């Protein structure tokens, strides 16, 4: 039975919409790029891109912004994917930030995100001259994202002006931009976290093993479990890593990604656990809770 | 979870403070979609910005932008997602403020059902009527009239029936297939996810039950086949496929298709997807078609069923919802997107403006932001479309400003005005080439633009004298002179200025066709119209000459005494004083008349003409 028939009408509709958005971005822009963050949403986005341009390959490279603090397993997964699919994977790190010694532990999450993610992304987009960037962000993630367009216009300097967004009617996207301006495109805008996992299960899409529960070395901090992924995480007085059965709902820089205790080792386990969950997926992200409107501010500065 | 679970997209609309966001917050909460950490953040926000006196203010859940929370109003569309075992839902929470009506239309364009909220304590307001009309115009056929805040009117059945009846009368001619009135209290949860014991007199469904059950299938699959080509997929020399989403109808391998507009015919060889070839594809599916013949198909073209062709024409009538900050001016060129095709287009006439509360058709010269009007448009290339009422996917378009790239309008086509295939320009054997050969000259339009008093006519006159003396055949068009005759009916509003330039351009084009060198002296303050001229006559026959003098110099010269009057407020819309002049960014010739004499400037123009072999 073709895979297509395993999708519910709801998922089939989301898939077709996302494929349409990917094709639109590729057709309307001079030099698009797919921002690949290694997480589950990126995995879905990449899978859809492979489908959208079949039997050809996606007519754009992938770009990963590497803060140098990602989980080791993420980097292994990233390199494996690029090689297996034969796609160009650009990796960019803010070298200036590295020289300044910016890191998530001593610098704090806000400054680290600003320099190693937001600024790094702007650097990479400018360096390669990309005029459109696909991202896996979804509107159900966060309330300022809920207001964002599928084709989200960025002025000079990649700034987002939430009060001057282009009205987005039907699927007639206004893809016109001037030199120096760009577009962020979010094909998964209308997907929920449930949809993403249901789709991963239906299509057998490979994801980083960190999403599945396993015994991992962790320490308890700020009410969550932080994984000791390497020896750069300074242990506080009296703190000893313990081995616990944990998994991650979202992935980012390891010192900023909280794990949950879980026994979910398969996709059906994960989906069942999510349906029973009483907190949103971004809870495990330490960077969103800094201030009241922290996501909106980060986005105005050019963050994804 | 049912394997057949489908999706309902709906919008909520109503006036400010009718409780739209509260209603959606309530739906999400009752459906278990608000997580504990979100709830904790919400109660923190409620204490800081809320208007419910310490109670959880659901509106804050949706008003995601800082400015919205500070001002307590919804500015932009927010999309929210929830599901029950029977259906998935995408809700667009749309703003009530009039200035954000364009965002409401955005939400309505993809919705198949609308919830119109009415505050039971206030009754029907003009804004709710406006929203109903926009919903109707954008093709929404299913409506819920949610009469909210019933708790504040003592759950009074009579109040509910009065408003419902009043709305029924109002909406009679709006073409809704069904209108379901439900009395609710979004704040307290009455009749939202269960029937309320406070209103035993109400016998209809509660809101969520209705949303789960209502049949909104538009049956796009039963309409004629339409396939706007989005992307030509050519990974190698052996494969050439046309990727896109089936807009309506169905297509099977072996079917015959036409390329709309040209009538070229071919057959579908394969329906390609990454999951294998399909025997058939229906509306909504994203596929790649390969054809049996090597016909020339590009992004923007449309493949259609031969038995039911769309209309193809370059002139059509459409309802326009204006969204731009600048008003819509008939005659001005905009970029038009329909399907995946882009072309230049302009409104040739504004038939009427719709007064949305009384629904009167009013005469108007222009459309301001949030205005709705019936327009006649003409496009540079012929478009293939279906009337919007028959097919939302192929009858909708947007207009985009050529310079700012702002999305300025949503358009819904009613019908074509005539078939492009029937328009034939009369062809004469004595044409431009023959005539200009007789005169031994190259026709060209020299367009002098600049402020009043900058020296346009003076310089044009000197240039014409020199050309005439050299045996050239010329003609001068002057703004003032045209306004005595051809343009006598026009004033100086932006709309009239646009029309004035359009007429001058058409006259100039005829003179060029007659083989003449044409000199036009017009203030022509707007970039858009000068660009329009360039395209009208062709870039090879157009020279934009900026006659540039500082405004102070023009005021000091004031040859016609106009600046004195304008500064006294006696002349409205005077360029440079009370109306803008958009200087050319890259004129073909730039004359600085504050620094050089008129003779020197004329010589500068003649030099360029000599360089082009136009003057001796």
HSE-up of A209 (CA within 13 Å, CB side)? 9
Q: Which residues of chain B have pLDDT under 70?
A: 1-5, 16, 33-39, 46-75, 95-100, 218, 419-428, 616
Structure-token match 């399907």, residue found: B339
Is A223's Cβ below 8 Å from some Cβ in B? no
Per-residue model confidence (pLDDT) at position B396: 98
Catalytic-residue membership of B524: yes
B524, B578, B579, B597: the active-site residue: B524
**Token duo for residue B326:** 């600048």
Top residue of B25, B286, B325, B410 to mutate, by most chain A CBs within 10 Å, is: B286
Q: Using CA atoms, how far apart are residues A169 and B480, in angstroms rounded to an integer?
A: 43
- B513-553 pLDDT, tens digit per residue, is 898 999 999 999 988 889 888 888 887 889 999 999 998 88
Question: Min CA distance, B203 vs chain A (Å)?
Answer: 32
Nearest to B480 by CA among B394, B385, B560: B560
- Is the bond preceding residue A55 a cis peptide, omega within 30 degrees? yes
pTM higher than the cut 0.90? no
Per-residue model confidence (pLDDT) at position B435: 83
Q: Give, as one character, the DSSP assignment of residue B138.
A: T
Asked if the Cβ–Cβ distance from A170 to B396 is below 8 Å, we say yes
- Which residues between 162 and 181 in chain A have a beta carbon less than 8 angstroms from any beta carbon of chain B? 162-163, 165-172, 174, 176-178
Length of chain B: 616
Per-residue model confidence (pLDDT) at position B569: 82
- Residue A234 neighbours by CB under 8 Å, 6+ apart: A105
> Helix (H, G, I), strand (E, B), or coil: what is residue B320?
strand
Is A16's Cβ below 8 Å from some Cβ in B? yes
Per-residue model confidence (pLDDT) at position B24: 84
What are φ and ψ of residue B286, in 5° steps?
-95, 115
Q: Give, as one character, the DSSP assignment of residue B267.
A: E
Q: Using CA atoms, how far apart are residues B378 and B317, in angstroms rounded to an integer?
A: 9
Q: What is the 3-state secondary structure (H, E, C) of B459-496?
A: HHHHHHHHHHHCCCCEEEEEHHHHHHCCCCCCCCCHHH
Per-residue model confidence (pLDDT) at position A163: 76
> Helix (H, G, I), strand (E, B), or coil: what is residue B394?
helix
The answer to whether residues B152 and B121 touch, using CB atoms and an 8 Å cutoff, is yes
- B399-418 pLDDT, tens digit per residue, is 999 999 999 999 999 999 87
Q: Which of B4, B76, B105 faces A9 most closely, judged by CB atoms?
A: B4
The number of angstroms, rounded, from the C-alpha of B93 to the middle of its chain's C-alpha atoms is 21
Per-residue model confidence (pLDDT) at position A196: 95
Per-residue model confidence (pLDDT) at position B439: 84
Query: Which chain A residue has the Cα nearest residue B9?
Result: A190
Structure-token match 């979010």, residue found: A186
- pLDDT by residue for chain A (304 residues), tens only, comes to 344 457 888 899 999 999 999 999 999 999 999 999 999 999 999 999 999 999 999 999 999 999 999 999 999 999 999 999 999 999 999 999 999 999 998 888 889 999 999 999 999 999 999 999 999 999 988 777 888 899 999 998 888 888 778 889 999 999 999 999 999 999 999 999 989 999 999 999 999 999 999 999 999 988 889 999 998 998 888 889 999 999 999 899 999 999 999 999 999 999 998 888 766 665 555 544 444 456 677 777 767 6
Whole-complex ipTM: 0.91
The answer to whether residues B50 and B57 touch, using CB atoms and an 8 Å cutoff, is yes
Per-residue model confidence (pLDDT) at position B422: 46
């Amino acid at each position: 039975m073709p895979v297509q028939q395993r999708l519910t009408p709801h998922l089939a509709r989301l898939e077709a919409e996302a494929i349409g958005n990917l094709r639109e971005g590729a057709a309307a822009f001079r030099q698009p790029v797919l921002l690949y963050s290694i997480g589950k949403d990126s995995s879905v986005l990449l899978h859809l891109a492979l489908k959208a341009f079949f039997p050809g390959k996606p007519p754009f490279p992938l770009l990963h912004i590497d803060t140098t603090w990602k989980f080791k397993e993420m980097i292994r997964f990233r390199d494996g994917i690029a090689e297996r699919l034969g796609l160009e994977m650009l990796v960019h790190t803010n070298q200036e930030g590295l020289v300044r010694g910016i890191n998530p532990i001593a610098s704090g999450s806000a400054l680290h995100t600003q320099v190693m993610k937001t600024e790094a992304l702007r650097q990479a987009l400018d360096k390669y001259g990309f005029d459109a960037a696909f991202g896996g962000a979804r509107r159900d993630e966060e309330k300022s994202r809920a207001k964002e367009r599928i084709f989200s216009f960025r002025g000079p300097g990649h700034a987002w002006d939430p009060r001057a967004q282009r009205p987005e009617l039907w699927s007639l996207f206004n893809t016109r931009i001037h030199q120096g301006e760009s577009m962020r495109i979010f094909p998964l805008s209308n997907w929920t976290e449930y949809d993403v996992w249901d789709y991963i299960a239906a299509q057998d899409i490979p994801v980083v093993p960190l999403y599945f529960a396993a015994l991992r070395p962790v320490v308890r901090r700020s009410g969550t479990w932080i994984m000791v992924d390497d020896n750069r995480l300074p242990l506080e007085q009296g703190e000893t890593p313990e081995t616990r059965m944990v998994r991650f709902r979202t992935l980012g820089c390891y010192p900023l990604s909280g794990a949950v205790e879980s026994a979910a080792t398969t996709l059906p386990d994960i989906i069942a656990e999510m349906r029973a969950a009483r907190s949103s997926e971004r809870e495990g992200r330490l960077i969103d809770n800094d201030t009241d409107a922290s996501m909106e501010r980060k986005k105005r500065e050019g963050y994804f | 979870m049912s394997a057949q679970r489908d999706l309902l997209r709906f919008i909520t609309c109503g006036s400010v403070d009718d409780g739209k966001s509260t209603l959606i917050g309530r739906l999400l909460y009752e459906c278990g979609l608000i997580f504990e950490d979100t709830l904790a953040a919400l109660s923190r926000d409620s204490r800081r910005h809320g208007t419910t006196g310490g109670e959880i203010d659901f509106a804050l859940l949706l008003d995601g932008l800082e400015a919205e929370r500070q001002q307590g109003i919804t500015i932009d569309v927010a999309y929210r997602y929830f599901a029950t075992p029977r259906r998935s839902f995408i809700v667009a929470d749309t703003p009530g403020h009039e200035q954000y009506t364009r965002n409401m239309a955005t939400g309505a364009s993809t919705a198949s059902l609308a919830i119109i909220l009415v505050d039971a304590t206030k009754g029907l307001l003009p804004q709710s009527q406006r929203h109903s009309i926009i919903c109707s115009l954008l093709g929404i056929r299913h409506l819920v009239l949610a009469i909210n805040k019933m708790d504040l009117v003592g759950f009074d059945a009579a109040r509910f029936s009065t408003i419902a009846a009043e709305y029924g009368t109002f909406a009679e001619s709006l073409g809704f297939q069904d209108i379901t009135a439900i009395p609710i209290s979004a704040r307290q949860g009455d009749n939202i996810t269960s029937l309320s014991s406070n209103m035993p007199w109400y016998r209809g469904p509660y809101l969520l039950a209705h949303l789960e059950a209502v049949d909104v299938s538009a049956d796009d699959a039963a309409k004629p086949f339409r396939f706007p080509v989005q992307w030509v997929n050519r990974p190698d020399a052996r494969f050439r496929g046309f990727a896109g989403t089936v807009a309506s109808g169905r297509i099977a391998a072996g079917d015959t298709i036409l390329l709309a507009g040209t009538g070229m015919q071919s057959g579908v060889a394969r329906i390609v997807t990454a999951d294998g070839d399909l025997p058939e594809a229906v509306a909504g599916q994203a596929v790649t078609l390969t054809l049996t013949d090597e016909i020339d198909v590009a992004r923007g073209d449309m493949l259609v069923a031969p038995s039911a062709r769309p209309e193809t024409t370059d002139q059509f009538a459409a309802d326009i919802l204006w969204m731009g900050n600048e008003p819509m001016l008939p005659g001005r060129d905009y970029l038009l997107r329909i399907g995946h095709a882009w072309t230049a287009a302009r409104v040739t006439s504004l038939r009427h403006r719709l007064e949305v509360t009384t629904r009167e058709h009013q005469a108007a010269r222009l459309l301001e932001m949030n205005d709705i009007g019936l327009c006649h448009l003409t496009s540079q290339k012929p478009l293939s479309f279906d009337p919007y009422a028959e097919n939302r996917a192929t009858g909708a378009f947007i207009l985009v400003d050529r310079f700012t790239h702002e999305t300025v309008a949503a358009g819904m086509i009613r019908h074509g005005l005539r078939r492009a295939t029937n328009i034939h320009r009369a062809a004469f054997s004595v044409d431009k080439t023959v005539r200009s050969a007789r005169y031994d000259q190259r026709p060209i339009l020299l367009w002098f633009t600049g402020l009043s008093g900058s020296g346009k006519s003076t310089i044009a006159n000197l240039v014409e004298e020199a050309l005439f003396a050299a045996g050239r055949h010329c003609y001068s068009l002057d703004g003032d002179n045209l306004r005595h005759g051809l343009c006598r009916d026009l004033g100086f509003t932006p709309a009239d200025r646009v029309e004035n330039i359009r007429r001058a351009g058409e006259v100039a084009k005829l003179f060029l066709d007659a083989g003449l060198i044409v000199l036009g002296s017009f203030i022509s303050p707007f970039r858009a119209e000068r660009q329009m001229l360039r395209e009208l006559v062709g870039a090879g026959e157009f020279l934009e000459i900026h006659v540039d003098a500082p405004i102070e110099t023009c005021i000091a010269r004031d040859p016609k005494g106009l600046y004195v009057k304008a500064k006294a407020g006696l002349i409205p819309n005077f360029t440079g004083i009370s109306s803008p002049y958009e200087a050319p960014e890259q004129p073909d010739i730039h004359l600085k008349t504050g620094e050089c004499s008129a003779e020197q400037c004329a010589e500068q123009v003649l030099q360029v003409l000599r360089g082009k072999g136009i003057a001796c």
